Structure 1
Amino acid sequence: MLNFLPIAYFENEFIAFDNAKISIATHALHYGTAAFGGMRGIPNPQNSKEILLFRLDRHCQRLSQSAKFLNHDLPAAKIQQIIIDFVKKNKPSASFYIRPLVYTSGLGIAPRLHKIEKDFFVYGLEMGDYMSPDGISCRISSWYRQEDRSFPLRGKISAAYITSALAKTEAVESGFDEAILMNSQGKVCEGTGMNLFIVRNGQLITPGFDQDILEGITRDSILTLAKNLGIPTLERPIDKTELFIADEVFLSGTAAKITPVKKIETFHLSEQRPITEKLRDKLLAITENKDPEYQDWVYSISL
């Protein structure tokens, strides 16, 4: 059962979540003309009267950039202030997830982005582990990731997630936890809502932006942490066969955090994951504001 936070931001005001409703004729519902973000928040383990948000500024910046693909100007500073006010009004007492979304709110029929109203809402829900921290199984999806030449992959656009939904259901209904999508060049791309990393011979490898991946904020954080920890990193195309012989594989994202992969198709991966565990422990310490070196990644809100 989903436990939604009681207050939402909707149509320029804070109202009860249960009262935040849209029309069945809403343009975004029919055409996927929306962009969203997602960020985690936790009560500070050292101070229950304080909420910690991970990389709030980057999340707001990415959503503001995504809004541009919808022909809409939504400043990052405005998004950030609304989210801060949202947290203060809800006063969450457990780990939670925030979903801000910008969308075409007009009731028009024609698929367009000009001369149609836009709006912005924020809601949240309590969330623990999105995936098993002990490791998951993956299959290679029969569905392929979109190409940037035909879809604005630099934005987190809602319409793109039909591919993720198809791939996720295909994976689960065939006995796996998650799907790995390839791109149109036949290279490894990402999961249904996560970036992908492999480890080979002590080197951390992940597909670059030229592989039609989402510009993940957790991905960016992991690359920064790895370099600072002295772990060699490389952004390059990854072949499917490399997944099967990798020393470690993990997925990363706001919801997934760092989730190890223990099986891909019929290939079982090693249960020894030193680099994955090192990065996961470091990221956890940062999100709990226990690492002074990365305090600028954590935004504190006093309740």
Structure 2
Amino acid sequence: MNDFLPYAFFRGQLVPFPEAQLSIATHALHYGTGAFGGLRGIPDPENPDRVLLFRLDRHCQRLSQSAKFLHFELSAEEIFKAIEAFVQKNQPSQSFYIRPFVYTSDLGIAPRLHNIEKDFFIYGLQLGDYLSPEGVSCRISSWYRQEDRSLPLRGKISGAYIASSLAKTEAVASGFDEAILMNSQGKVCEATGMNLFMVRNGRLITPGYDQDILEGITRDSVIRVAQDLGIPVDQRPIDKSELFIADEVFLSGTAAKVTPVKQVENYLTPCDRPITDQIRQQLTLITEGRLAAYQDWVFPIALR
């Protein structure tokens, strides 16, 4: 069972988690007219009276932008303050995950975004490793990633995740841990909730924004860390066959962090992953607030 944090931010106030209830007629439940974020927090290794949130400003900015697709004006500052109050109220003592969500909160059956109420809530749960840090096996999904001309893929729109859900279940049912979705052009896109990277001949390669990927915040962090480490980075289309002969493949995301891929379909990737390991170690140090050069990525929140 999920270990939910005891309080939620719901309808503008902090309430016990079990009291944050929605009607079965809630518009967003029927039409996927919501957008969410996700960010991690950890107890500060150097100070037991505070927690550290990774790139809180970017997460608030992205959720604010996602809300605009729903015709909902919700500023990044409002989200920031609500998350800060939420964390202070919950007093988390272990690694945790925060899920803020904007949605059409009205009751009704007409699919629309005009003349309809919107709202914003936050809940959280204790969360360790979402995927095995030892590596995962992936299959190429029979389901394809949507196109930006049919859905606003620059936002984390809840309705878009039906494709991810279908692909994840298909993968697990066929004996794999994760799925890799292709885009409509037949190029590698992303996993079910993670961006994808591969390494070939010492270069880090990832699909660009023109490949219908999510603008991942962990993805951006990986690219910047790699560049700072002197690792060449290419953002370009990736063919399926390249994954089968790549030197390294890994997934990145808030929940997944940096997770190695040990197998794609029936092709095993090398066990030696020097670039993956180097980036993962660097990001761990950053999230723990141990690298001064990245202090602006870590947001301390006092608990007392």
Give the equivalent residue in structure 1 for 2:82.
Answer: 82
* Distance in 2 separating the partners of 1:238 and 1:64: 30
Give 3-state SS (helix, strand or coil) of 2:18's partner.
Answer: helix
* Distance in 1 separating the partners of 2:47 and 2:177: 35
* Distance in 1 separating the partners of 2:47 and 2:166: 42
Q: Is the 8 A contact 1:103 1:120 kept in 2?
A: yes
Give the equivalent residue in structure 1 for 2:106.
Answer: 106
Give the equivalent residue in structure 2 for 1:252.
Answer: 252
Q: Which runs of 5+ in 2 are unaligned?
A: none
* Distance in 1 separating the partners of 2:12 and 2:172: 38
Identity of aligned residues (%): 71
* Distance in 2 separating the partners of 1:12 and 1:85: 11
Give 3-state SS (helix, strand or coil) of 1:241's partner.
Answer: helix
Q: Does 1:149 align with 2:128?
A: no
| Deviation digits for residues 59-106 of structure 1 (CA, Å, limit 9, x no counterpart) | 000000000000100000000000000000000000000000000000
Shift of 1:181: 0.2
Give the equivalent residue in structure 2 for 1:177.
Answer: 177
Task: State the TM-score, normalizing by the size of structure 2.
Answer: 0.99
Give the equivalent residue in structure 2 for 1:284.
Answer: 284
Give the number of aligned pairs.
303
Task: State the TM-score, normalizing by the size of structure 1.
Answer: 1.00
Give the equivalent residue in structure 2 for 1:300.
Answer: 300
* Distance in 1 separating the partners of 2:267 and 2:281: 26
Give 3-state SS (helix, strand or coil) of 2:4's partner.
Answer: coil
Shift of 1:47: 1.2
Give 3-state SS (helix, strand or coil) of 1:150's partner.
Answer: coil
Give 3-state SS (helix, strand or coil) of 2:190's partner.
Answer: strand
Q: Which runs of 5+ in 1 are unaligned?
A: none
In structure 2, give the amino acid aligned to 1:2: N
Q: Does 1:243 align with 2:215?
A: no
* Distance in 2 separating the partners of 1:150 and 1:23: 28
CA RMSD of aligned residues (A): 0.4
* Distance in 2 separating the partners of 1:3 and 1:226: 34
Shift of 1:9: 0.4
Give the equivalent residue in structure 2 for 1:20.
Answer: 20
Give 3-state SS (helix, strand or coil) of 1:65's partner.
Answer: helix
In structure 2, give the amino acid aligned to 1:272: D
* Distance in 1 separating the partners of 2:272 and 2:48: 35
Shift of 1:173: 0.5
Give 3-state SS (helix, strand or coil) of 1:47's partner.
Answer: coil
In structure 2, give the amino acid aligned to 1:138: C
* Distance in 2 separating the partners of 1:48 and 1:265: 44
* Distance in 2 separating the partners of 1:48 and 1:59: 24
